[in-house]
Amino acid sequence: MGTVSLTIDGKTIQIEEGKTVLHAAQKAGIEIPTLCHHDQLEPYGACRLCMVEIEKNNRKKLVASCCYPVENGLIVRTKTDSVDKIRKMLIELLLSNCPSGEHVEMAKKYGITQSRFKQADTPESPCSLCGLCVRYCNEIKKEHAVCFVGRGVDRAVALVPGVSDVCKTCRACFSVCDAGKIVYLVDMVQDISCPPLRPMKKQ
Amino acid sequence: MTKITSRKELEQYRKNLQKQKGSKNITISVCAGTGCLALKAQEVVDNFREEIKKHKLSANVEVKEAGCPGFCEKGALVVIHPEEINYIKVQPEDVAEIVSETIVKKKVIPRLLYTDPHSTKPIKKESDIPFYKHQKRILLGNNMKIDSKNIDDYILYGGYSALAKALFDMKPEEVLEEVKKSNLRGRGGGGFPTGRKWETTRNAQSDKKYVIVNCDEGDPGAFMDRALMEGNPHLVLEGLMIGGYAIGANEGFVYVRQEYPLAVENTEIAIKKLEELGLLGKNILGSGFDFTITVHRGAGAFVSGESSALMSAIEGRVGEPRPKYIHTAVSGLWNKPTCLNNVETWANVPLIINNGAAWFQKIGTENSKGTKIFSLVGKVNNTGLVEVPMGTTLREIIYTIGGGVPNGKKFKAVQTGGPSGGCLPEKYLDLPVDFDELYKVGSMMGSGGMIVMDEDTCMVDIARYFVNFLSQESCGKCIPCREGLRHMLRILNDLTTGEATEDDVKLLEELSEVVQLSSLCALGQSAPNPVLSTLQYFRDEYQAHINGECPAKVCKGLLTFTIDAAKCTGCGLCMKNCPVEAITGEKKTVHHINSDICIKCGNCYEVCKFNAVQKATGKQKKVVSVERR
């Protein structure tokens, strides 16, 4: 593996090929917010908070830095108007029905005190659906006991019936869960009938 | 079935088919596509077979369950060759008459012909009907001649000659070069140059490569992929095999959604027949080229049409998109180079190989070559599939081919590109339809859905409808798409009930932009299009809704129903049809609607024969909105 050289916010950084822009920024001490990134897990690109502007062949593009592989000569800007606008709005979206978690700290940093969005019709959920628990369970523990159910606006985290017995003792995903939301799920579940964290829409 | 092991044998097989065909000089083709089947086409076919037997005409007449020719509005469709007599809206009970009159006595039955609404003259020949006449059906044209379950029909009309030509007369590089030269662009919506995509996969280093047919069409009102896959699956499979040869792939997948059972069935039959004939498997036609095809049934998620999500689904995982900063052409299915194209894109390939890139280049506009199939639906007289050269104007499609807006209503807008396309107003009717022109005005080609709307359509309600669809169909993986669409829908819902303010619309606009810029896949990135395009062209309607009015009188929350005392005869029909007993009144006296109980279903308005029920829109006395301020 060779080394590539790229510029982030004017700083030139050397880093091994195959790493991501987020890695490069972290190496250079440039902070990029993320909710769904974890160094031990595969890049996922779901929270979109780590979006940055890249410039390549004089063309600008917005990308998720946690997934974008480093390239020679790449110019990265982590603080542009569009990047800020996206981050602020994503934080607001999260705040509107997810009252606790890392994004609350982020909100303070970006000067957001209140979300302009009304509380959604679904009840407040302590889960931001970052998927860290699901992926940690699958990729590291290989238990496949935590999963997503539902799709779109009904997406929720649930324990896999029949397999979730392991959760009572394992609890390894607790360490990756932002503000301990998975604790709530696992503790709530006494048997395999697992209610999802965000109630599914009633039929 | 004996195997065909060389190009010569294939040609001989075709010649034999032509000889056999010669004895049966009359063919009765009945459309056996999903649309016509719903209109009793199967019964029509069965009756024809019986009648032909009864008249002892079996030696001379062939009854064919054919593919969809596109004129779904007029099903069940029957075409009698060689005269090309076209009968529409054929019922099972018409069959005996058709056989005794048209087949035996050679007399045309005027009642079953298509009547041109302008000249009011009946039209006998299929190709003379304006709906077909102004099309250029290079892809759909053979559907009505082919029984899609019978490989011989396809071979009879030149099928697999393009594959033979590619395998024996051309190197893979030459096939690739020909497709590149043709400037074919991906018909799935993106319009990416197909040749360049193929080349990326071809150049990627790997021991294994895949090719995929994307038949996961899920757009409301779109069915062109379904019609092609059902009606002429071999055309698509031949394209896929040629693509596999050019790219260096030996394995192909056809991803068909489970909701297209007939497409699944016909594709599976087609593959089985190909295997039986030795046209799939090892050493095809003795060329040394090996190829296999597997059908994968999709579980019916709109997002699975997105290439990376589709590949996840084939791998056996949840159909959720992955970031594609490394293209699927380089790292796709099981991280191997994978070339995925839409049904229609693959279907164009045999035509390009047979006729040459130069021929294909002559059709279409400068940057969009070939034809495009649109599914023309909504408030238009002739709904169905329309195949026209790129660059045909919206007016030609909607008025000349589609016959205009029904019931003398005024055209309002046309949505192109499916749920994530844009709504274009009347001023763009003369826009030549191609990838770039549509994009320029805030819409897109998409897969080719075309929904016509008349003056009775509320554009805010339409935006709400599409955002609702997409919020249900989003996989929910990324925040902007999941949470963004949830709130976009909420604001649009508020607009349709008169509870939204100007600030809400501003927020909606800002949110749309963020969802567009930051979503993970194309579903989210294009989801705000219906909102942004309606805001761009129909902003006054949004303003009206803020003011508590729905100009098209569609949004129930903003309507009031009253009874005009002068017109009411007291017939009681409205009262009978009211599901909530909101209407009171004695027989032969003026009736009254209690607006506190009324759920604004509009039943009374629909049933009243005296136009006594009045629909009004305007500021409602809403306690909620007062409290909000």
Q: Is the pLDDT of residue A159 over 60?
A: yes
- Model pLDDT, residue A161: 79
Interatomic CA distance for residues B583 and B594, integer angstroms = 6
* Residue ranges in chain B whose pLDDT is less than 50: 621-629
Query: What DSSP assignment string belongs to B205-248?
Result: --S--EEEEEE----TT--HHHHHHHH-HHHHHHHHHHHHHHHT
Position A26 scores a pLDDT of 95
Query: Residue A174 has what pLDDT?
Result: 84
Is there a contact between A68 and B474 if contact means CB atoms under 8 Å apart?
A: no
Contact list, B472 vs chain A (CB under 8 Å): 151-153
The ipTM estimated for the assembled molecules is 0.91
Contact between chains at A86 and B518 (C-beta distance less than 8 A): yes
The pLDDT tens digits for B264-320 are: 999 999 999 999 999 999 999 999 999 999 999 998 888 998 999 999 999 998 899
The three-state secondary structure class of B122 is strand
Question: What pLDDT score was predicted for residue A122?
Answer: 66
Average confidence score pLDDT of chain A: 85
How far apart CA B125 and CA B129 sit, in angstroms, is 7
Quick one: average pLDDT of A5-14? 95
Q: What is the distance in angstroms between the Cα of A71 and the nearest Cα belonging to chain B?
A: 12
Helix (H) / strand (E) containing B64 = strand B61-66
Distance CA(B357)–CA(B178), nearest Å, equals: 6
Quick check: A93 and B480 CB within 8 A?
yes
pLDDT at A86 over 60: yes
pLDDT band per the 50, 70, 90 thresholds, residue A192? very low
Across the interface, do B303 and A151 touch by the CB < 8 Å criterion? yes
pLDDT at A198: 55
Question: At which residue do the structure tokens 């009211």 appear?
Answer: B578
- Over residues B457-510, the pLDDT tens digits come to 999 999 999 999 999 999 999 999 999 999 999 999 999 998 999 999 999 999
- Give the chain A residue nearest B506 (alpha carbons): A116
B323·A82 Cβ contact <8 A: no
Cα–Cα nearest to B447, from B256, B222, B137, B258: B222
For residue B453, give the nearest of B264, B221, B153 by alpha carbon: B221
CA distance B484 to A165: 35
**Residue among A47, A69, A120 whose CB faces B479 most closely:** A47
Pairing of strands B85-87, B78-81: antiparallel
Q: What is the DSSP string of B384-421?
A: EEEEEETT-BHHIIIIIIT---GGGPPEEEEEESGGGS
- According to the model, what pLDDT value does residue A185 have? 64
Interface contact flag, B473 A152, Cβ < 8 Å: yes
What does the DSSP assignment read for B441-486? TT---TT-EEEEEETT--HHHHHHHHHHHHHHHS---SHHHHHHHH
Residues A151-175 have a mean pLDDT of 83
Label residue A12 by pLDDT band (50, 70, 90). Answer: very high
The residue type found at B153 is: D
- pTM (2 d.p.): 0.91
The distance of A44 to chain B (nearest Cα, Å) reads 7
